[in-house]
A and B are shown apart, each in its own frame.
Chain A
Amino acid sequence: MLKFFFSNQLYLGLAQAFITALVATLVVLLARKRGIHLESETLIAMLRGIVQIVAVGSILLLLLSAPRWTSGLLLAAMMIAAGSISGRRAKGIPDAFRVSAFSIAFGAGSVIALMTWLGVIDTAITSLVPVGSMLIANSMNTNGLALNRFRADVLAHVGEIETALALGAEARNSVAPYVQASFEASLIPAIDSLRSLGIVWIPGLMAGMLLSGARPVYAAIYQFVVLAMIFAASGLTSLVSTLLIRDRIFTPAQQLSLQPGR
């Protein structure tokens, strides 16, 4: 219906963005009726999202004629931003930003590097940056979930952890069950995405490839390739971040520093 009113693609896009933001706002209002207040957080997230994605689209437009190495810079900047955003999920844990940025750089970075070297990801900026950003974004989400779950589990099990310490356990052994639980929980979305691929959803990349005229079978296979890369990058990120963060919640004398109300 919108196409009837807007012939210009830019205006059409803005109208589509407005409509979807409206629907999202309705959901927020429904949540508010149930006493769940997401208004300011959602509004800020939506405004940030639209401004950021338009900015990146503009940068990509400029980069089309830039040398290929610039995509490396762009991806590195994305990793740092991703580390900063997901690190906030570990409130009260020292070094959360550094742990997050390093884990995302290690997880997503190594998969991007390996796949680019093997030729799975094309080195063209228009391919490397969007696919790389997908891996970074998913690693960021996984990292945020892992840190959030780990922090919540530790705060809910202070008694058990200190009991283990008091019985002579190594600090890292005392939180081992929570490291494992947060790793497993963080990978649930990535595993479910792979499991439901094609049955529950046709991902955006495949839809885009089909719209731009690619052969459906190749589009489908490449979508699986991307999801498998996302799983690998996310898994590696979560593995590294949960291992690194567990040592950050203890003092050198093996005292639990992450405590409720401290």
Chain B
Amino acid sequence: MNDQNIVEIRVTSPPTSDPILRTEHLGRVVKDKILVEDATFEVRTSEVLAIVGPSGSGKSSLLRLLNRLDEPTSGTVYVEGTDYRQITPRDLRRKLGMVNQRPFLFPGTVEQNLQFGPQQRGESLPPDAIEQLLTRVGLIGYASRNVANLSGGEAQRVSVARTLANSPLVLLLDEPTSALDEASKLEVESSIQRIVHDQGMTCVLVTHDTAQAARLSEQALLLEGGRIVRAGPIQEVLHA
């Protein structure tokens, strides 16, 4: 997609209700291979939407389109009613914070990792804000620890806190526990539970683990071959 395309996108009127995130006919085709096709859905404030489906069904591809790490070949995404091509990629990615399957922490301390996002816009988090973020993920007192010495579950929770440091509107979680052992998986899941349920964070969760989807979310999309084949309340989607 070039600059001209970005300028030519027409912004439609925001819907009357206020979904925080809305996609319209979103799709991506690469070399004739359909990764995502005609995905239309919305996410409301404080809602947790799970995207489930078998491996290769396009779950992660869809999440990457939401964060605009990949460019849609059709359709678009509205963030608080604004076409996301009207938002600079940096602002968009700050608003739609993403946590990957692997944490990819930067070398250094936990605090340095948490400061990364704010530093990109010339800001710095005070020590009490750092502690607050670490409290949210159950890692009180970890600020000065070197990330090289963290367990897999701790690293993933630092990754979640690092994304929260940008104060995102929506948290995009891409299989956040699939690379972890059972104990670490439970630690991370309980941190996510605290963030989404107790603190009301809006969240889109990609997972192949339907039990996890049922524990964490209220709404779900079932993807197959890049298409949404079912959508609605989680229990209906999983047990239809």
Contact = CB atoms under 8 A, between A and B. Distances in A.
Interface in A144-201: 159-160, 162-170, 173
Interface stretch (A17-25, A49-57, A60-68, A247-255): A247-255
A166 B90 contact: no
Contacts, number: 65
Given A159-B100, A253-B71, A168 B121 contact: yes
B1 A252 contact: yes
Interface residues of B, number: 29
Interface string B67-78: 111110000000
Contacts of A163: 100, 104
B93 A253 contact: no
A168 B69 contact: no
B162 A167 contact: yes
A262 to B, nearest CB: 8
A166 B97 contact: yes
Given A167-B93, A168-B94, A170-B120, A255 B70 contact: yes
Nearest to A162: B69
B71 A166 contact: no
A256 B64 CA distance: 12
Most buried by A among B69, B94, B102: B69
A160 B104 contact: yes
B68 A255 contact: yes
Nearest to A174: B120
A254 B116 contact: no
A253 B166 CA distance: 20
B6 interface: yes
Contacts of B100: 159, 162-163, 166
Contacts of A169: 90, 116, 120
